[in-house]
């Protein structure tokens, strides 16, 4: 398969960045990182094939300190997290009139502050894994139904019904039975020409149900996802009564993956995404 020029440039840039990060860390530690890497390679402990493996072996596993200068670069270049414009094209100021959601990704302080337009929200908690925070969800989670267009409203009547039900405590009452539950088994309920949610999520077994998620019953919805793989007590809750913004069901219906228009089949764990997450886990330092 022929590699596109854009992809080639992006991969060359990533390869150079990996080398620079490792080299900087090695210099700061008297070269011990480099020696350890050489020893591991000689002992056959690592196999690096492709960008993903290189980032995992050279950076993530060794917890290489990520400088903010690299994060700043990611925010300013296109295709950093997959095909699409640079993040700062849409998010470059705390002014909601000039930048979507009043989100400034052009500065470290702005990234740490998060969205300033009401409801103001931070993107992550420094020092913690951002995978399930807004930052992680927007870079990894595909909006549902799978493949729904970016321009489909996120505040439709159906989505609002689900949101209001969750905010009201997610009761198993007549409103749920008559108005909310049928949405999950109805084609086109959340987007034009889209399959019913229960086409992919109809039982607590995988296969046939993705993530062992059953959206065909109240019990299945409240049990959550991956109840077999993780055990019932550790299942991933997709509905948090009273808090739609924390509920996976609402998040997947109302939050578009970034950059806008990215294909749901693009890698959700892009190497740059993993480096960004590591920076956050290391404290999101502005240095």
Q: Who contacts 86 (Cβ-Cβ below 8 Å, separation ≥6)?
A: 75, 76, 77, 78, 80
Per-residue pLDDT of 13-25, as tens digits, reads: 565 555 556 555 5
Check whether 166 has a pLDDT greater than 50: yes
pLDDT at residue 17 in the model: 59
User: Does the pLDDT of residue 37 top 50, yes or no?
Assistant: yes
Chain center to CA of 162: 22
pLDDT tens, residue by residue, 141-154 = 999 999 999 999 99
Closest CA to 73 of 106, 41, 95, 122: 106
Q: Which residue has the higher pLDDT, 214 or 17?
A: 214
Of 147, 236, 246, which Cα lies nearest the Cα of 190? 147
Taking only the tens place, the pLDDT of each residue in 60-106 is 999 999 999 999 999 999 999 999 999 999 999 999 999 999 999 99
Identify the band that residue 46 occupies on the pLDDT scale cut at 50, 70 and 90: confident
Q: Where are the domains of the chain?
A: 65-141+265-282, 157-254
pLDDT-wise least confident of 22-26, 202-206, 223-227 = 22-26
């Amino acid at each position: 398969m022929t590699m596109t020029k854009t992809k080639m440039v992006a991969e060359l840039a990533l390869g150079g960045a990996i080398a620079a990060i490792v080299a900087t860390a090695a210099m700061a530690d008297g070269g011990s990182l480099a020696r350890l890497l050489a020893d591991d390679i000689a002992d056959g402990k690592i196999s690096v094939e492709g960008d993903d493996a290189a980032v995992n072996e050279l950076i993530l596993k060794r917890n290489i300190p990520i400088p903010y200068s690299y994060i700043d670069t990611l925010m300013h270049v296109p295709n950093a997290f997959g095909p699409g414009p640079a993040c700062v094209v849409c998010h470059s100021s705390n002014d909601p009139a000039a930048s979507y959601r009043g989100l400034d990704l052009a500065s470290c302080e702005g990234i740490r502050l998060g969205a300033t337009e009401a409801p103001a929200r931070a993107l992550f908690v420094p020092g913690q894994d951002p995978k399930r925070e807004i930052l992680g969800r927007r870079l990894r989670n595909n909006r549902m139904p799978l493949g729904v267009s970016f321009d489909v409203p996120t505040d439709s009547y159906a989505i609002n019904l689900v949101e209001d039900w969750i905010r009201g405590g997610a009761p198993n009452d007549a409103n749920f039975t008559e108005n909310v539950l049928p949405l999950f088994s109805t084609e086109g309920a959340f987007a034009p020409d889209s399959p019913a949610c229960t086409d992919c999520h109809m039982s607590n077994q995988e296969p046939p149900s993705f993530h062992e998620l059953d959206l065909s019953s109240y019990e299945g919805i409240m049990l959550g996802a991956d109840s077999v793989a993780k055990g019932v007590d550790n299942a991933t809750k997709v509905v948090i009564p009273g808090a739609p913004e924390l509920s996976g069901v609402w998040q997947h219906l109302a939050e578009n993956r970034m950059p806008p228009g990215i294909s749901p089949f693009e890698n959700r764990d892009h190497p740059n995404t993993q480096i960004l997450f590591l920076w956050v886990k290391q404290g999101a330092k502005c240095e």
